[in-house]
Amino acid sequence: MDAIVIRRGETAPEIVGKPRPDPGPGEALVRTLRVGVDGTDYEVIRGSHGGYPAGEDHLVLGHEAVGVVAELPADAETDLEVGDVVVPTVRRPPAAGANGYFERGEADMAPPERTVERGIDGAHGFMAEYFTSPVEYLVSIPDDLAEWGFLVEPISISGKAIEHAAASRSAFEWTPESALVLGNGCLGLLTLAMLGRRGYDRTYCLGRRDRPDPTIDVIEHLGATYVDSRATPVDEIPEVYESVDFIYEATGYARHPFEAVEALAPNGVAALLGLPDSWAFEVDGGRLHEELVMHNKALVGSVNSNRRHFAAAVETLADLPSWLREDLVTGVYGREDYRRAFPDTFDGDERTIKTAVEFSTI
Ligand code: NAP
Ligand code: BGC
Ligand code: ZN
């Protein structure tokens, strides 16, 4: 079967032939429909995040997948049936075996050394004609969402981060009215839509692009204000617009968490999602420390998501307006055309938002 991989020492994905995987005990065989590409995939391709499976010279890419159950284990304790459309979660136990995080269904809370991540760190991903997975890591979705199912994983990431940020404000009456999303990639734009539906009165989204640009069109169609970081850096947002109750960082730009402390309103919280490269720079740590303390502000890091977040994400995906799904997904390419799904690597159109590789159809 065909698989899209990054080889050790290379800087661009390639398509290779691999044997179709045989499901082990308790595992389903899944026929892949589509696999999305996100900012993390480029970090994996560049070698700045994640790693190869032990002893292997390549990593099958892809962690945002949707597929159809092709085979189930005979003795499987599952409600799944052959033909069901499913989305796989990303984390799996490390070689040492399952630990408490997995036993509690909270693999998303495991530190990196207690988990592997399919398509990212230490385990092959889903960008192949077939993949296998223990049945407990497959979440079923309605057939009519199959073509958009690869958006479930990123939506689940935002659902978890928003939940954790809100939990950090649960000890008092917190009634957030304004939100700022840092980053106009797919994760930022999906989150902007999610926040709009959670009743925020005023939403902002930060980018660094000139008009016309499809991401700015989406921001404005969602009723949010586009903020250009080249004209208004994050710490100047209170002066130009307002201090905000909630910030969601999805740029991976390492100055943003510190600038966000200045942009938060008293009692506000910023969720940090980005995966930056190492970068040393100067900040006034004393000032930030005092600002966090004296205004009861919080910074909350958030990574990955668990089954519960995936299940909630399926509902969120069904609720999103169809124009949004269509505008966000700027290209779905057959595997022979996979290079077009990686425009940042292969010098493609920079006006893409979300791309995916299609392996088969329902
Ligand atoms: P993406 O497509 O690369 O989006 C990042 C966006 O941020 C880009 O549109 C980029 O603008 C913009 N940006 C970067 N620096 C900026 C700056 N200084 N000012 C204004 N805009 C800036 O990535 P994504 O898929 O949306 O993901 C966002 C980040 O979250 C990545 O770092 C990714 O690795 C991470 N992530 C984390 C999790 C988690 O579980 N924590 C899950 C998914 C993704 P241009 O396109 O114009 O350069
Ligand atoms: C993935 C998460 C993963 C994180 C860190 C993100 O792009 O969506 O599932 O935990 O990267 O590797
Ligand atoms: Zn991701």
Domains of the chain: 2-141+321-358 (3.90.180.10), 157-301 (3.40.50.720)
Nearest 5°: the CA angle 320, 326, 331 is 135
Residue pointed to by tokens 């958009």: 148
Q: What are phi and psi of 245, to 5 degrees?
A: -80, -35
What pLDDT does residue 349 have?
A: 72
- Pocket residue to mutate for ligand 1, from 35, 37, 38, 310, most atoms within 8 A of Cβ: 38
DSSP string, 294-349: HTT-EEEE-----HHHHHHHHHHHHHS-HHHHHHHEEEEEEGGGGGGG-TTTTT--
What pLDDT does residue 348 have?
A: 74
CB of residue 249 inside a 6 A radius of ligand 2: no
DSSP string, 241-309: S--EEEEEE-S--TTHHHHHHHHEEEEEEEEE---PPP------HHHHHHHHHHTT-EEEE-----HHH
Write down the H helix ranges in 138-213: 152-167, 186-196
Instruction: Output the tens digit of pLDDT for each of the chain's 362 residues.
Output: 999 999 999 999 999 999 999 999 999 999 999 999 999 999 999 999 999 999 999 999 999 999 999 999 998 889 999 999 999 999 999 999 999 999 999 999 999 999 999 999 999 999 999 999 999 999 999 999 999 999 999 999 999 999 999 999 999 999 999 999 999 999 999 999 999 999 999 999 999 999 999 999 999 999 999 999 999 999 999 999 999 999 999 999 999 999 999 999 999 999 999 999 999 999 999 999 999 999 999 999 999 999 999 999 999 999 999 999 999 999 999 999 999 999 999 987 778 999 999 999 99
CB of residue 332 inside a 6 A radius of ligand 1: no
85-88 and 64-71: which strand pairing?
antiparallel
Nearest 5°: the CA angle 212, 218, 222 is 135
What pLDDT does residue 121 have?
A: 98
CB of residue 43 inside a 6 A radius of ligand 2: no
Which candidate, 110, 1, 33, 26, places its Cα nearest to that of 332?
33
Write down the H helix ranges in 32-151: 39-46, 100-103
What pLDDT does residue 341 have?
A: 97
What pLDDT does residue 347 have?
A: 80
Nearest CA to ligand 2 atom 3: 304
Helix (H, G, I), strand (E, B) or coil at 353: coil
Tell me the C-alpha distance between 6 and 338, whole Å.
13
Tell me the C-alpha distance between 350 and 209, whole Å.
11
**CA–centroid distance, residue 275 to ligand 1 (Å):** 8
What pLDDT does residue 227 have?
A: 98
Helix (H, G, I), strand (E, B) or coil at 66: strand
CB of residue 157 inside a 6 A radius of ligand 2: yes
CB of residue 358 inside a 6 A radius of ligand 2: no
Residue pointed to by tokens 């499987």: 76
Locate 94 and state its tokens.
């490390």
- Pocket residue to mutate for ligand 1, from 35, 37, 40, 218, most atoms within 8 A of Cβ: 40
The distance between the two most distant Cα atoms of the chain, rounded to a whole number of Å, is 63
CB atoms within 10 A of CB 335: 20
What pLDDT does residue 134 have?
A: 97
Distances (CA, A) of 337 to 15, 113, 257, 333, 357: 10, 35, 37, 6, 8
Locate 151 and state its tokens.
């958006």
CB of residue 61 inside a 6 A radius of ligand 2: no
What pLDDT does residue 11 have?
A: 95
CB of residue 313 inside a 6 A radius of ligand 1: no
